Amino acid sequence: MIVAIDGPAASGKGTIARRLAKHFGLPHLDTGLLYRATARVLIDEGTRLDDVESAVAAARGLALTDFDEEKLRGREMGEAASVVGAMPDVRAALIDMQRRFTQHPAGAVLDGRDIGTVIAPQADVKIFVTASPETRAQRRALELRGRGEPVIYADILADIRKRDERDAQRSSAPLKAAADATILDTTDLDIEAAFKAALAIVEKKRG
């Protein structure tokens, strides 16, 4: 079974994807890490983020095993990931790796922006997770503070709005729900309730 979870920043898609993967014993790939890791290579090298050639080389050089999540989860990396994620050649360089991941014999759970639309249009279940920008900003501010990054709510809300806009407007694989995705709005749901709602969607699809 292939499960595609897409949605905007801090919608809860990552947590839902992890929980579903654990529940069904499937491998999970957080595809945002690929874009974050690509951006990280450029930052570590001191290369400009808008250098497409270097970004493509960085994307091609990634291995799924070398993600240091601690270094990739910060505020700056989310923003930088969205810049390289808007480059069609970077997206193209990351497609095979993601498609290979879906070929695990048991299936897989992937979360990102374009899993149901581009990476795995054949997915058995597609969920588009969303929540209001204010709720997402609150969650992200809490998460970043939990990681020791002192942030101001208004700044995070501005980040989220800017990133929503960039992700939705880009020409290559813009953020949008697949026509056959089920929308899950988590604005008023805590983690447990969101997971249960997602599980119900999967169970219903599987009949």
Q: Which stretches of the chain bind ligand CDP, using CB under 6 A?
A: 9-10, 31-32, 35-36, 78, 81-82, 85, 112-114, 163, 167
Q: Count of residues for the chain? A: 207
Q: At 96, is the secondary structure helix, strand, or coil? A: helix
| Beta carbon nearer to ligand CDP, 114 or 202 | 114
- Beta partners for 198? none
For residue 73, the minimal CB distance to ligand CDP (Å) is: 8
Question: Which residues are within 8 A (CB) of 131 and not within 5 positions of it... i.e. 6 or more apart?
Answer: 10, 11, 12, 139, 185, 186, 187
Q: Are strands 2-6 and 125-130 parallel, antiparallel or unpaired?
A: parallel
Distance between CA atoms of 35 and 83, rounded to whole angstroms?
Answer: 9
For residue 203, the minimal CB distance to ligand CDP (Å) is: 25
For residue 176, the minimal CB distance to ligand CDP (Å) is: 12
For residue 165, the minimal CB distance to ligand CDP (Å) is: 10
For residue 199, the minimal CB distance to ligand CDP (Å) is: 21
| Beta carbon nearer to ligand CDP, 68 or 203 | 68
| Beta carbon nearer to ligand CDP, 32 or 107 | 32
For residue 115, the minimal CB distance to ligand CDP (Å) is: 6
Shortest Cβ contact with ligand CDP: which residue? 32
| Beta carbon nearer to ligand CDP, 113 or 126 | 113
Please report, as a single letter, which amino acid is at residue 123: A
| Beta carbon nearer to ligand CDP, 198 or 206 | 198
Q: Is 153 exposed, middle or buried (0-12, 13-18, 19+ CB in 10 A)?
A: middle
| Beta carbon nearer to ligand CDP, 81 or 181 | 81
Q: What six digits make up the tokens of 159?
A: 């980040």
Cα Rg of the chain (Å, integer) = 16
- Beta partners for 184? 129
Q: Is 68 exposed, middle or buried (0-12, 13-18, 19+ CB in 10 A)?
A: exposed
